[in-house]
């Protein structure tokens, strides 16, 4: 990232009243959150993609929960990084500010962000298999698997699994915000997961300045206003230094 690129991004933000920050796995990876990506990512000999699939949950709810409680255990000691904190602090400086995240780790809320749309759910919650009711879960490890809600209803992880649709209303809320924002930050996402990757494109099509922050080029890069190369924790705080 050059100084001129940074100044240009600040100018876009200084002129904005409505901002959407669209975040992906990269922002949390900087906090030490494992991504479990790649063909060699396994758990107990099970490919991570299979462990995170609706197929395994329907076949063996207890094993599915063992996988997700293992992930929750890894996340217990993880803290928000400078990028999460900068976004939370920036929320108060704009008329409208919305974080739209593909992450399930809850780090944006932990950093203090009040308005967060979780496209893929939250690993710290469970959802009733019959009722769909959401429950906040105790810290990992859970005392019994699967956890249960009212009336002894078994819960499932409140996350979007491979083979499932996004939660009702989440994508629509994000898309509406993107279509009316003045600036959209695209932070730490490869732009290959759909329909989530349509969010920055909706902002671009509506005339917003769309600013990418990523260590490397992505599928979205050619379609965006400005692309800043580097770590989110280094760049995001700098973008708001001169924003009133």
- In the set 84, 108, 120, 223, the catalytic residue is 120
CB atoms inside a 10 Å sphere around CB 31: 20
Residue 5 and residue 229: Cα distance in Å, rounded? 10
Q: How many CB atoms neighbour CB 212 within 10 A?
A: 25
The angle subtended at Cα 72 by Cα 212 and Cα 65, nearest 5°, is 115
| Residue 222: count of CB within 10 angstroms of its CB | 8
Of 32, 163, 42, 167, nearest in space to 105 by CA:
32
Instruction: Give 42's contacts (C-beta < 8 A, 6+ positions apart).
Output: 48
Q: Would you state the structure tokens that stand for residue 231, as one six-digit string? A: 């770590």
Do 210 and 203 form a contact (C-beta atoms < 8 A)? yes
SS3 of the chain: helix, strand, coil, percent, to 5: 40, 20, 40
In the Cβ-directed half-sphere of 226, how many Cα atoms lie within 13 Å?
Answer: 23
Angle in degrees, 0-180, between the axes of helices 198-205 and 170-179, rounded to the nearest 10: 30
* 120 catalytically annotated: yes
Active-site residue set: 120
């Amino acid at each position: 990232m050059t100084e001129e690129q940074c100044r240009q991004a600040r100018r876009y933000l200084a002129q904005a009243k409505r901002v959407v920050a669209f975040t992906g796995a990269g922002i949390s990876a900087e906090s030490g959150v494992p991504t479990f990506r790649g063909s060699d990512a396994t758990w107990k000999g099970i490919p991570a993609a299979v462990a995170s699939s609706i197929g395994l949950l329907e076949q063996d709810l207890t094993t599915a929960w063992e996988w997700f409680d293992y992930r929750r255990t890894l996340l217990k000691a993880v803290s928000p990084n400078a990028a999460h904190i900068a976004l939370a602090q920036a929320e108060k400086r704009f008329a409208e500010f919305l974080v739209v995240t593909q992450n399930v780790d809850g780090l944006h809320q932990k950093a203090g962000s009040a308005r967060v749309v979780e496209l893929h759910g939250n690993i710290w919650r469970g959802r009733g298999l019959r009722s769909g009711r959401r429950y906040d879960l105790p810290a990992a490890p859970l005392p019994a698997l699967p956890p249960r809600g009212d009336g002894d209803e078994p819960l499932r992880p409140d996350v979007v699994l491979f083979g499932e649709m996004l939660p009702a209303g989440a994508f629509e809320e994000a898309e509406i915000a993107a279509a009316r924002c003045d600036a959209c930050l695209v932070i730490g996402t490869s732009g290959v997961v759909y329909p989530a990757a349509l969010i920055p494109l909706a902002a671009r099509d509506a005339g917003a300045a769309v600013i990418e922050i990523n260590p490397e080029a992505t599928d979205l890069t050619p379609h965006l206003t400005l692309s800043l190369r580097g770590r989110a924790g280094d760049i995001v705080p700098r973008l708001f230094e001169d924003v009133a």
